[in-house]
Amino acid sequence: MKYTRLTKEQLEELHPEFINFLATQSITAEEWKDIKQNKPEVAEEELDIFSDLVWEGVLSKAEYLEHFSPQHIFLFKISEVQMQLIGIKVKNEAINITTKEGYAWLQGNLMDENVEIYTSTKVIKDDRNKDIFALIQQGANITKGELFNYFDNMVD
């Protein structure tokens, strides 16, 4: 398995897609019931394969990621060949930007000496989707890139 298995909730949400996936392998509803009962290891493999297919589809479309922690925001723009990072660091540990108040403080004090904004670019050498998945595993979320583009215009 390349990624992680989808959760029970995610699989339930993707039930029609899973049925189509089984159909592409010529597995009927009756056969699936039989596999689950009599060959649980085969059922597990099918769930893993389906999960990897879903992850591949989602990750291949991802262009922007955001990761927030109490004193940092990491904004990523990912192309086929490189990953751009805009990092925002709040040096004052009394300010937690994951809270409404802390984020409001950041918005009003971007030029404050307690705020550092930096950029970096990394060439993607191996597997783009695995790099994105690793960031998601660390807490990043796929976004539409509004925040990245806002700060990108600001630092240019």
Q: Are 75 and 64 in contact (CB under 8 A)?
A: yes
Residue 50: count of CB within 10 angstroms of its CB: 20
pLDDT of residue 156: 72
pLDDT reported for residue 49:
95
Instruction: Say what the pTM is.
Output: 0.86
∠ CA 15-8-41, nearest 5°, is 90
Parts of the chain with a pLDDT under 70: none
User: Which residue type does 142 have?
Assistant: I
pLDDT confidence of residue 65: 98
